[in-house]
């Protein structure tokens, strides 16, 4: 069945006139996509697991920069995939109009599987692009949930497609190359690679700081924002107002405490250079000063190995609270920060205090913290 589908698909169909098209061009572009799609899938799945940890998943707090790299890679790879995916579709475009459109059940199934693959692949890339540009109106669904589940469809359809087409790819890549067509094809592939390089160069500076000045087409600049740091959700958007002297941080644990801002400032202060690494692929390092999470845990007599629920004054929203993994709770770099880059935290950065911990997505670095709950 699989073999038949493969044979039927691999039969040469009428091709539009370009000599650049052909099994070899398509195969080489396919090999490139067989790298970029799994990279996006694995890094995306990792980000999902960190944010929605099942019981078997323990996310470490070191290396500090790991999430910054995996998520930066996720968005950069997705961006660089655009020209490769479009070139791949171009290379097989004439097959879309093959006649007769369906030659039996196997052919129908293989065409349907390609339709699912193309639909899922285009949708993943487009929704990712819309999300980083924060344009949600065209998506009649909640982005993160759909992007996650559709990624499984895309990677599954990709595996099926590779399984079906493997003999074609093998044949195309094993065949000796005819010189003139080969040079032209290399020119085309070099142009596609250059396009991938160009969109990377003009966007990746949103997370790779030395390239920040080249990032003329990036949705973020790591140095632009209050106190020279970008903001994902501002206080106005979160419906948060500046607290007054009546503010108390409530910590629930074996020995519950309520701390005023003066109490927090009187505790030992520590400074850590930690990045905000956003799921949207930008990141920026700040110098944060505040109280160590593990000091606060000791204050309420929290048991070793506990996790911590960190809740915000933010009204509603999916990200109004987060759970700090056990490793981050123990890590001396994890802070309840009161200051950023030497100044009192800007309201948009979470005044009076925010969580900042190593190796976590920005959405979990809860701002405007008013309650901590020890989870044994």
Partner 1 sequence: MTGQQRTDEPGRILRVVRIVLVGVGLVAAGYGAYGLVAESRPIGVAAFAAAAVLGHDLVLAPLALLVGAVAGRLTPPRLRSVVRTGLILTGTVLIVSLPLLLGFGRRATNPSALPLNYPLGLAVTVAAVWLGTGLVALLRRRHP
310 to 369, contacts with partner 1 by CB under 8 A? 348
Report the run of H or E that residue 24 belongs to, with start and end: helix 23-51
* Tokens, residue 298: 């000791």
Distance (Å, whole) CA 66 – CA 46: 11
Which of 117, 115, 128, 114 minimizes the C-alpha distance to 152? 117
Closer to partner 1 by CB, 66 or 89: give it: 89
Distance (Å, whole) CA 10 – CA 171: 10
Binder to partner 1 among 13, 31, 49, 96 (CB under 8 A)?
96
Instruction: Tell me the closest approach of the beta carbon of residue 60 to partner 1, in angstroms.
Output: 26
Q: Following CA atoms 83, 88, 89, 93 in sequence, which dihedral angle do they give, to the nearest 10 degrees? A: 130
Instruction: Tell me the closest approach of the beta carbon of residue 216 to partner 1, in angstroms.
Output: 3
Site string for partner 1, 107-146 (x = CB under 8 A): --------xx-xxx-xx--xx-xx-xxxxxxxxxxx--xx
Strand 321-324 relative to strand 335-340, pairing: unpaired
Task: Name the DSSP letter for residue 6.
Answer: H
Distance (Å, whole) CA 270 – CA 291: 6
Binder to partner 1 among 8, 45, 66, 82 (CB under 8 A)?
82
Asked if 8 interacts with partner 1 (CB under 8 A), we say: no
Q: Which residues pair with 272 in a beta bridge?
A: 288
Asked if 33 interacts with partner 1 (CB under 8 A), we say: no
Distance (Å, whole) CA 68 – CA 160: 32
The string over 231-256, giving b where at least 16 C-beta atoms fall within 10 Å of a residue's C-beta and e elsewhere, is bbbebeebebeebeeebebebbbeee
Instruction: Tell me the closest approach of the beta carbon of residue 62 to partner 1, in angstroms.
Output: 28
Closer to partner 1 by CB, 57 or 149: give it: 149
Instruction: Tell me the closest approach of the beta carbon of residue 176 to partner 1, in angstroms.
Output: 19
Instruction: Tell me the closest approach of the beta carbon of residue 106 to partner 1, in angstroms.
Output: 12
Asked if 237 interacts with partner 1 (CB under 8 A), we say: yes
Q: How far apart are the first and last CA of the chain?
A: 53
Binder to partner 1 among 44, 83, 325, 362 (CB under 8 A)?
83
Instruction: Tell me the closest approach of the beta carbon of residue 333 to partner 1, in angstroms.
Output: 24
# binding residues, partner 1 (CB under 8 A): 87
Report the run of H or E that residue 307 belongs to, with start and end: strand 307-312
Closer to partner 1 by CB, 69 or 129: give it: 129
* Tokens, residue 361: 């997505």
Touching partner 1, residues 144-203 (CB under 8 A): 145-146, 148-164, 166-167, 170, 184, 187-188, 190-192, 194-196, 198-199, 202-203
Closer to partner 1 by CB, 38 or 375: give it: 38
């Amino acid at each position: 069945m699989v073999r038949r589908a493969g044979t039927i698909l691999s039969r040469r169909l009428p091709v539009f006139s370009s000599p650049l098209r052909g099994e070899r061009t398509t195969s080489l572009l396919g090999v490139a996509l067989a790298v970029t799609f799994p990279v996006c899938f694995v890094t995306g799945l990792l980000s999902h697991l960190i944010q929605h940890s099942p019981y078997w998943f323990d996310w470490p707090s070191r290396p500090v920069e790991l999430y910054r790299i995996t998520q930066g890679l996720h968005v950069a790879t997705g961006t660089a995939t655009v020209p490769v995916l479009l070139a791949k579709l171009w290379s097989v475009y004439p097959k879309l109009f093959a006649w007769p459109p369906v030659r039996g059940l196997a052919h129908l199934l293989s065409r349907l599987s390609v339709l699912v693959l193309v639909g899922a692949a285009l949708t993943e890339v487009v929704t990712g692009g819309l999300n980083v540009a924060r344009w949600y109106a065209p998506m009649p669904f909640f982005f993160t949930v759909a992007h996650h589940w559709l990624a499984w469809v895309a990677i599954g359809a990709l595996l099926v497609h590779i399984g079906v087409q493997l003999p074609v790819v093998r044949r195309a890549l094993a065949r000796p190359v005819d010189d003139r067509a080969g040079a032209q094809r290399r020119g085309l592939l070099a142009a596609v690679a250059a396009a991938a390089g160009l969109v990377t160069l003009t966007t990746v500076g949103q997370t790779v700081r030395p390239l920040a000045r080249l990032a003329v087409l990036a949705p973020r600049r790591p140095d632009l924002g209050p106190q020279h740091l970008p903001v994902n959700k501002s206080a106005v958007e979160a419906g948060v107002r500046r607290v007054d002297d009546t503010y108390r941080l409530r910590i629930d644990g074996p020995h519950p405490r309520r701390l005023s801002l003066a109490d927090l400032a009187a505790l030992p202060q520590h400074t850590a250079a930690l990045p905000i690494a956003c799921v949207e692929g930008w990141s920026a390092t700040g110098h944060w000063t505040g109280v160590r999470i593990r000091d606060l845990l000791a204050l309420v007599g929290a048991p070793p190995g506990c996790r911590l629920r960190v809740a915000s004054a933010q009204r509603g929203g999916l990200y109004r609270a987060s759970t700090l993994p056990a490793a981050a709770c123990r890590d001396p770099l994890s802070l309840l920060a009161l200051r950023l880059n030497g100044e009192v935290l800007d309201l948009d950065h979470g005044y009076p205090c925010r969580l900042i911990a190593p190796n976590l997505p920005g959405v979990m670095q809860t701002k405007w913290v008013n309650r901590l709950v020890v989870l044994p």
